[in-house]
């Protein structure tokens, strides 16, 4: 068994927002041989994670949004459930503490599936008989309006067989011949098995959960286990959770779990990690799960203390593909490396700060995907570039698609591994590439600690505000290009070297007409058999000419060798010296009423012919700029919107490129 004993190390870094604690880096280096035995990268893992989450949430999306009322706020749930993992049913009661937020509050509405039967409702220790449960909402009417801003409560007694939707909301199954029952509720499935205020608008301040099961079974759920009592062949488990929690992040699992605990040390403090695993998989879990210790320490160093430090973190094995980030108790199908890192990352991004709309699902999934990449960066840097390469290849496998979810009725679109996960992760990396580590990580820490967002909900605009504040510059252009905009850039580099000067032009086309130009810093490697050097350039327009001194003979130039940005179909060409110095540029691109060709020194002294072709290869126009002209403007107001190609010929030399007409 691989055991990582970290008790002898003092790790004091908290919320640096800049770089990992040096002690932790040194520790990771010392342990690298052991860690690399566990750190693995499989290009298909992200698709597996996304597909599992997509399938799990499909039915709850189809149900449509639940309560969105702001008439009251949930303060607290006290839940008692009777569960037998061999029987697919639930009974018990839920007490809901709520605060009316407006005057004249005369009815309380909870989400509750019609498959669940209300036995009775208690209000101030008296039966409440004026209620309606004819739809998937339970409506309780009060004889007198309840006072505004005054805490109140009701208790709903119920039982039933939750709907068998086939998507994991409430599942009774077996593992190795033993029964298991689990729930999976994101985002609206909670009301399939308990009455609650569902949706992405409200979090309870805390929750207590008591579960009765037959002797021999264990329960896994949110918070900390405060008591276990056996009475008459049944065992009662008492759990409490004292952090704000959305209804979809409540989950329970019951089976004959084997369990073991790990300790994550931070100086004089520790975090308990409680693992509930199938007995038949306990040996595998004992080998694979020690990696959670340095994972938590990495996230703690980058993003501040684990958000639920006073309680625990944990894993509960269940029978669904992928995982689910139930608050403080992640449910996982197995202990695959990236799955463990991804779901752990959700404790900061998804649980502490939760997306306030499905349109902003990337605030959950893009972040968790990027955080798993940061684990590779810090625990096995040899896999960090490969991680980004695979993400870029996935993103650019199709020409369009935005990170902003344009269709929140489609589960396939919401949980699209290419857009919500991979592209969401890489637009975060590009922000880091643009802003630099200090500003980027400071912004994320400020986002997580913002009192308006922490343990609540956020939208993309909230993140943008913190990024701009930390960076000191407007980022609206970036979010227009990369969040709501679609596609990616394709670069063409033409270069030559004279003495110790390398000159090159950077031309860009776009895979989608929704973005006219992707303004990004680019990185080039200049190399030969003996030397190489990486240089970063800020590319601000297509056709831009750069010159740089390189003190060795360059035989090749490599574009973005570390996959810092999203791009594909890039070409790098060594060209004749005069061709590069000519520096032919076309502006603007995309264009509307005109395009202007700008000629460098040598081209300005030559006669030339410009021919314009449409995307079917048909010549659309022809022009003859004379010698000595620095630029030539072509009228394009009659052109139809679309992609066009230009060829500029001067004697035996030809220069070509693309541009877009947009109206």
Is 1 a domain residue?
Answer: no
Please tell me whether residues 496 and 475 are part of one structural domain: no
> What pLDDT does residue 650 have?
74
DSSP 277-291: E-GGGHHHHHHHGGG
Looking up tokens 């500003």, which residue turns up?
A: 439
> What pLDDT does residue 577 have?
53
Mean pLDDT over 629-638 rounds to 88
> What pLDDT does residue 645 have?
78
Helix (H, G, I), strand (E, B) or coil at 465: helix
Please tell me whether residues 378 and 470 are part of one structural domain: yes
Domain final residue pick, 207, 233, 255? 255
pLDDT tens digits along 206-233: 999 999 999 999 999 999 999 999 999 9
Is 276 a domain residue?
Answer: yes
> CA-CA distance, 172 to 88, in Å (whole number)?
5
Please tell me whether residues 164 and 284 are part of one structural domain: no
Is 7 a domain residue?
Answer: no
Q: Is 617 left (phi over 0), alpha (psi -120 to 50) or beta?
A: left
Write the DSSP symbol of residue 196.
Answer: B
Please tell me whether residues 238 and 265 are part of one structural domain: no
> What pLDDT does residue 43 have?
67
Please tell me whether residues 437 and 568 are part of one structural domain: no
Domain final residue pick, 444, 464, 484? 484
> What pLDDT does residue 39 have?
76
> CA-CA distance, 621 to 659, in Å (whole number)?
14
Consecutive H or E run containing 76: strand 72-82
Is 97 a domain residue?
Answer: yes
pLDDT tens digits along 411-440: 788 889 999 999 999 999 999 999 999 999
DSSP E strands in 101-188: the ranges are 105-111, 116-123, 126-127, 131-132, 137-146, 152-160, 170-175, 178-183
Give the number of residues written for the chain. 663
> What pLDDT does residue 386 have?
93
Token digits of residue 473:
């510059």
> What pLDDT does residue 602 have?
54
> What pLDDT does residue 21 have?
42
> What pLDDT does residue 396 have?
96
Token digits of residue 457:
């909900």
pLDDT for 62 beyond 90: no
Tally the domains of the chain: 4
Please tell me whether residues 350 and 404 are part of one structural domain: yes
pLDDT for 169 beyond 70: yes
Please tell me whether residues 284 and 362 are part of one structural domain: yes
pLDDT for 291 beyond 60: yes
Mean pLDDT over 160-186 rounds to 90
Q: Which CATH number characterizes residue 551's domain? A: 2.60.40.1910
pLDDT tens digits along 568-594: 999 998 886 544 445 677 888 888 899
pLDDT for 32 beyond 60: no
Among 175-179, 273-277, 379-383, whose mean pLDDT is lowest? 379-383
> What pLDDT does residue 207 have?
98
pLDDT tens digits along 138-151: 999 999 999 999 99
Q: What are phi and psi of 211, to 5 degrees?
A: -125, 130
Angle of helix 337-345 relative to helix 362-379, nearest 10 degrees, comes to 130
Q: Which CATH number characterizes residue 634's domain? A: 2.60.40.1930
Angle of helix 362-379 relative to helix 384-395, nearest 10 degrees, comes to 150
> CA-CA distance, 591 to 513, in Å (whole number)?
11
Q: What share of the chain is helix, strand, coil (3-state, %, to 5)?
A: 25, 35, 40
> CA-CA distance, 660 to 282, in Å (whole number)?
59
pLDDT tens digits along 355-366: 999 899 999 999
> What pLDDT does residue 598 have?
83
> CA-CA distance, 506 to 580, in Å (whole number)?
11
Mean pLDDT over 542-561 rounds to 93
Is 123 a domain residue?
Answer: yes
pLDDT for 91 beyond 50: yes
> CA-CA distance, 365 to 344, in Å (whole number)?
12
Q: Which CATH number characterizes residue 185's domain? A: 2.60.40.1730
pLDDT for 33 beyond 50: no
> What pLDDT does residue 54 have?
54
Token digits of residue 197:
């205020």
Please tell me whether residues 94 and 122 are part of one structural domain: yes
pLDDT tens digits along 105-122: 999 999 999 999 999 999
> What pLDDT does residue 440 have?
98
pLDDT tens digits along 37-55: 467 777 676 766 666 665 5
Is 17 a domain residue?
Answer: no
pLDDT for 658 beyond 80: no
Domain final residue pick, 420, 454, 484? 484
> CA-CA distance, 629 to 510, in Å (whole number)?
29
Write the DSSP symbol of residue 462.
Answer: H
> What pLDDT does residue 58 have?
52
Please tell me whether residues 276 and 185 are part of one structural domain: no
Consecutive H or E run containing 248: none
Mean pLDDT over 494-520 rounds to 94
Looking up tokens 């870029």, which residue turns up?
A: 392
Q: Which residues on adjacent β-strands are paired with residue 509?
A: 490
Enclosing domain of residue 163: 71-255
Among 154-168, 277-291, 423-437, whose mean pLDDT is lowest? 154-168
Consecutive H or E run containing 502: strand 501-510
> What pLDDT does residue 607 have?
67
The three state secondary structure string of 288-306 is: HHHHHHHHHHHHHHHHCCC
pLDDT for 6 beyond 50: no
Q: Which CATH number characterizes residue 40's domain? A: 1.10.390.10
Please tell me whether residues 461 and 522 are part of one structural domain: no
> What pLDDT does residue 461 have?
98
> What pLDDT does residue 172 have?
96
Is 517 a domain residue?
Answer: yes
Please tell me whether residues 107 and 234 are part of one structural domain: yes
Q: Write the CB contacts of 153 (distance below 8 Å, at least 6 apart in sequence).
A: 95, 96, 97, 98, 123
CA distances from 13 to 28, 112, 297 (A): 15, 45, 9
pLDDT tens digits along 11-27: 333 333 344 343 343 34
Please tell me whether residues 115 and 250 are part of one structural domain: yes
CA distances from 277 to 44, 156, 296, 327 (A): 24, 32, 20, 18
* Residue 324 binned pLDDT confidence (cut-offs 50, 70, 90): very high
**Cα 65–Cα 66–Cα 71 angle in degrees, nearest 5:** 125
Burial 235-273 (b: 16+ CB within 10 A, else e): bbbbbbbebbbbbbbbbbbbbebbeeebebbbeeeebeb
Radius of gyration of the chain from Cα atoms?
A: 29
Is 12 a domain residue?
Answer: no
> CA-CA distance, 399 to 627, in Å (whole number)?
40
Taking the model in full, what pTM does it have? 0.81
């Amino acid at each position: 068994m691989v055991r990582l004993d970290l008790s002898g190390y003092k790790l004091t870094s908290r919320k640096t927002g800049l770089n990992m604690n040096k002690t932790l880096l040194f520790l990771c280096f010392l342990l690298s041989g052991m860690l690399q035995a566990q750190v693995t990268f499989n290009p298909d893992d992200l698709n597996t994670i996304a597909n599992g989450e997509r399938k799990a949430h499909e039915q709850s999306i189809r149900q449509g949004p639940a309560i969105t009322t702001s008439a009251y706020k949930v303060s607290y749930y006290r839940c008692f459930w009777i569960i037998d993992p061999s029987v697919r049913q639930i009974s018990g009661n839920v007490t809901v503490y709520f605060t009316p937020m407006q005057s004249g509050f005369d009815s309380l509405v909870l989400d509750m599936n019609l498959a669940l039967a209300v036995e009775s409702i208690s209000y101030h220790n008296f039966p409440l008989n004026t209620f309606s449960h004819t739809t998937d909402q339970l409506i309780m009417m009060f004889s007198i309006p309840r006072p505004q801003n005054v805490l109140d409560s009701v208790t709903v007694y119920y039982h039933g067989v939750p709907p068998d939707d086939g998507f994991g909301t409430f599942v009774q199954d077996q593992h190795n011949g033993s029964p298991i029952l689990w729930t999976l509720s994101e985002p609206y499935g909670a009301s399939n098995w308990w009455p609650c205020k569902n949706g992405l608008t409200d979090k309870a301040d805390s929750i207590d959960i008591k579960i009765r099961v037959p002797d021999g079974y264990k329960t896994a759920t949110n918070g900390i286990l405060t008591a276990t009592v056996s009475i008459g062949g049944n065992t009662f488990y008492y759990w409490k959770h004292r952090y704000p929690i959305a209804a979809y992040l409540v989950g329970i699992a019951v089976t004959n779990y084997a369990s073991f605990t790990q300790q994550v040390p931070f100086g004089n403090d520790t975090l308990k990690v409680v693992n509930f695993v199938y007995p038949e998989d306990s040996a595998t879990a004992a080998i694979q799960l020690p990696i959670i210790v340095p994972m938590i320490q990495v996230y703690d160093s980058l993003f501040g203390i684990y958000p639920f430090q006073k309680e625990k973190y944990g894993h509960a094995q269940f029978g669904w593909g992928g995982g689910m980030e139930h608050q403080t108790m992640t449910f996982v199908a197995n202990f695959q490396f990236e799955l463990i890192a991804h779901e752990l990352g959700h404790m900061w991004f998804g649980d502490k700060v939760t997306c306030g709309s499905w349109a902003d699902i990337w605030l959950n999934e893009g972040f968790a995907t990027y955080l798993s990449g940061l684990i590779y960066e810090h625990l096995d840097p040899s896999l960090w570039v490969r991680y980004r390469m695979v993400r870029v290849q996935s993103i650019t496998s199709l020409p369009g698609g935005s990170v902003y979810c344009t269709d929140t009725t489609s589960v396939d679109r919401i949980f699209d591994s290419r857009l919500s996960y991979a592209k969401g992760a890489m637009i975060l990396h590009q922000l880091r590439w643009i802003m630099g580590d200090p500003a980027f990580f400071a912004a994320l820490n400020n986002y997580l600690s913002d009192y308006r967002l922490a343990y609540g909900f956020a939208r993309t605009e909230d993140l943008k505000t913190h990024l701009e504040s930390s960076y000191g510059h407007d980022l609206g252009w970036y979010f227009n290009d990369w969040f709501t905009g679609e596609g990616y850039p394709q670069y063409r580099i033409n270069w030559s070297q004279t003495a110790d000067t390398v000159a090159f032009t950077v031309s860009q086309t776009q895979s989608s007409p929704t973005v006219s130009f992707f303004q990004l810093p680019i990185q080039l490697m200049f190399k030969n058999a003996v030397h190489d050097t990486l240089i970063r350039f800020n590319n601000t327009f297509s056709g831009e000419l750069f010159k740089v001194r390189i003190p060795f003979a360059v035989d090749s130039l490599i574009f973005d060798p570390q996959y810092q940005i999203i791009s594909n179909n890039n070409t790098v060409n060594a060209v004749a010296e005069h061709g590069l110095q000519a520096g032919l540029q076309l502006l603007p691109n995309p264009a509307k009423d005109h395009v202007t060709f700008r000629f460098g020194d040598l081209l300005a002294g030559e006669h030339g012919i410009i021919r314009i072709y449409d995307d079917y290869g048909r010549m659309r126009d022809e022009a003859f700029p004379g010698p000595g002209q620095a630029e030539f403007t072509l009228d394009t107001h009659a052109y139809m919107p679309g992609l066009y190609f230009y060829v500029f010929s001067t004697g035996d030399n030809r220069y070509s490129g693309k541009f877009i007409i947009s109206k």
